[in-house]
Amino acid sequence: MAKQLITFTINGKLTESYVDPRESLLDLMRVDLKLTSVKHGCDVGECGACTVMIDGETFDSCIYLAIWADGKTIITTEGLTSLEGEMSDIQQSFVTEGATQCGICTPGFLISSLPIIESDKDFTREEIKKQVSGNFCRCTGYQNIINAIEKTHDKRKAEGLNHK
Amino acid sequence: MYDIKNIYQPKSVGEALKMKNEHPEALLLAGGSDILIQIRDGKLAGSDLISIHSLEELRGISLEDDGTILIKPLTSFSHVTQNPLIQKFIPALGDAVDQIGGPQIRNIGTIGGNICNGVTSADSASTLKAYDAILEISSVDGIRVLPYADFSKGPGKVDLKPNEILTGIRILKDSYENTYGKYIKYSIRRAMDIATLGCSVNVRLSDDKKTIERLRIGYGVAGPTPMRVPTAESLATGKLISEQLIIDVATATLIDVNPRTSWRATKEFRMQLVKELCKRALKAAINQAGGTI
Ligand code: FES
Ligand code: FES
């Protein structure tokens, strides 16, 4: 199928790409742009390994057509690290809390945690669980993931760092 | 790469209607959380699609002059839940769609897609039935208006002609005004699961809060399509609120439903849920309305 030009912002960078209209956003991220933090898991919107942030909301990129990304602002886990490659607080917290083992689910969980850690609202553990309920982890048993998100949120809040 | 034969990308609703008329076999792609998955599955592989995903004119919720709430069909589940009009007037609908899938699915899935695919388990369907939603259906020939009650034609089948597109979902003021609702979903998992049974009740009480003026009960998975239970509803009309009345209404729901056995649950268990969820939802709705049982 004839490729189509789309323009979007990815991790702060305005980007143009020619995409096949049958291509998923997951393929655009991983294959075309080499943003391999976006993981290829189930391919049917069940596991959340491919989660990206689009215009402030989380989506499974495997069931999102690349052509829909035209004009959008996208964030992947690559966008969380500093330019020097240093980890952000939420990534460090996943390490400290033992919230990552094999790691395939981790980037998806990190993106799904953004609506929580960027908000100055208070969240119960149940609310955190609900926000990451579209992300599966086969290794950690979830508790450490919830801890990492909760601690990062609370720390940011104490320091007045939440944006919203 | 998805196995898609052709994908048409209209820039306006008018263009979408023309394309649907020229390619009646093409499927409308809204959020994609059903169709793209079925393409992956092979069931819809090789389909022609019309992507209406980017038609912003089909998104959003507004209040019309006469107090009708208009929900545009491409409004995502999460936007339905967060919408101030829904929170104020029909919170049961916001709650219902907040129980679909997980956050990512609620951000992509659309309320119009949920009812147009016609499945009985659609979480929005029982509540929209219970609030007597009215559908606006468009084609190149014009617009027709259809009660949602008459839309379901069978499992996965709805009254939508090959050249038609759902363009609006309306809830009249009389349906929501002074009315309190509650949706309860029973599912095996709390997230990422479809309903074993869903029950949506809304009630309007008399001024002294002692009598049920109007009761509406919608179900998902209690039959081949989302449905209402008129026998139980009319039994409640004008009756004094009491523990016994709630039992009588819940028992009467069984007359109209027709659930089946599936791997999720047996028919008998679903019958039990039909009755029990009605009791719980009705009590919650009466309490919200200021009544006491
Ligand atoms: S790979 Fe997208 S949800 Fe599993
Ligand atoms: S760390 Fe292995 S799946 Fe989550």
- Chain B contact present for A150, CB below 8 A: no
| Interface predicted TM-score (ipTM) of this complex, two decimals | 0.96
B184 and B168 within one domain: no
Query: What pLDDT is recorded for position A101?
Result: 97
B206 and B187 within one domain: yes
Name residues contacting ligand 1 (CB within 6 A).
Answer: A 40-43, 45-50, 60, 62
Give the residue-averaged pLDDT of B256-261.
95
> pLDDT tens across B199-217, in order?
999 999 999 999 999 999 9
CA of A138 to the centre of ligand 2 (A): 5
Write down the pTM of the prediction. 0.96
CA of A38 to the centre of ligand 1 (A): 9
Domain boundaries, chain A: 4-80, 89-158
Query: What pLDDT is recorded for position A79?
Result: 97
Picking from A84-88, A157-161, B212-216, B231-235, which range would have the lowest pLDDT averaged per residue?
A157-161
B223 and B154 within one domain: no
Domain A89-158 has CATH 1.10.150.120: yes
Task: For A51, name the nearest residue in chain B, comparing CA atoms only.
Answer: B104
> pLDDT tens across A126-141, in order?
999 999 999 999 999 9
B215 and B164 within one domain: no
Ligand nearest to the CA of A140: 2
Domain count, chain B: 3
- Asked if the structure places residue B247 within a domain, the reply is yes
Give the residue-averaged pLDDT of A62-73.
98
Distances (CA, A) of B225 to A161, B109, B113: 49, 20, 15
B216 and B112 within one domain: no
**How far A75 CA lies from chain B's nearest CA (Å)?**
14
Residue that is last in its domain, among B174, B190, B212: B174
Domain A4-80 has CATH 3.30.300.130: no
Instruction: Give the per-residue SS3 of B114-152.
Output: HHHCCCCCCHHHHHHHHCCCEEEEEECCEEEEEEHHHCE
B187 and B167 within one domain: no
Residue that is last in its domain, among B174, B207, B231: B174
Residue B107: list chain A partners with CB under 8 A.
57-59
Task: For A71, name the nearest residue in chain B, comparing CA atoms only.
Answer: B54
Residues A108 and A134: their CA atoms lie apart, in Å, by 9
- Asked if the structure places residue B239 within a domain, the reply is yes
B102 and B34 within one domain: no
Query: What pLDDT is recorded for position A163?
Result: 59
AA identity, residue B188: I
Give the atom of ligand 1 at the shortest distance from the alpha carbon of A134. 3
Residue B108: list chain A partners with CB under 8 A.
45, 59-60, 63-64
B196 and B165 within one domain: no
B269 and B190 within one domain: yes
> pLDDT tens across B132-174, in order?
999 999 999 999 999 999 999 999 999 999 999 999 999 999 9
Residues B128 and B115: their CA atoms lie apart, in Å, by 9
pLDDT cut 70: percent of chain B above it: 100
B250 and B192 within one domain: yes
Residue that is last in its domain, among B150, B174, B198: B174
Is residue B192 very low, low, confident or very high in pLDDT (cuts 50, 70, 90)? confident
CA of A139 to the centre of ligand 2 (A): 4
Select the residue from A31, A38, A133, A146 to test the B interface by mutation, using most B Cβ atoms within 10 A. A133
Q: Which domain holds residue B24?
A: 4-45
Look-up of token digits 């026998």: B231
Contacts with B163 (C-beta within 8 Å, 6 or more apart), sequence order: B17, B20, B21, B24, B139, B140, B141
B39 and B90 within one domain: no
B148 and B80 within one domain: yes
**pLDDT of B293 strictly over 90:** no
Residue A46: list chain B partners with CB under 8 A.
192
Contacts with B13 (C-beta within 8 Å, 6 or more apart), sequence order: B55, B57, B58, B138, B165, B167
Name residues contacting ligand 2 (CB within 6 A).
Answer: A 100-105, 137-140
The DSSP secondary-structure symbol of B110 reads B
> DSSP string of B89-101?
H-HHHHHHHTTSS
> pLDDT tens across B66-112, in order?
999 999 999 999 999 999 999 999 999 999 999 999 999 999 999 99
Q: Which segments of chain B does DSSP mark as H helices, in order?
A: 13-22, 35-41, 77-82, 84-89, 91-97, 103-108, 111-116, 123-130, 173-176, 230-236, 243-256, 267-288
Select the residue from A7, A25, A63 to test the B interface by mutation, using most B Cβ atoms within 10 A. A63
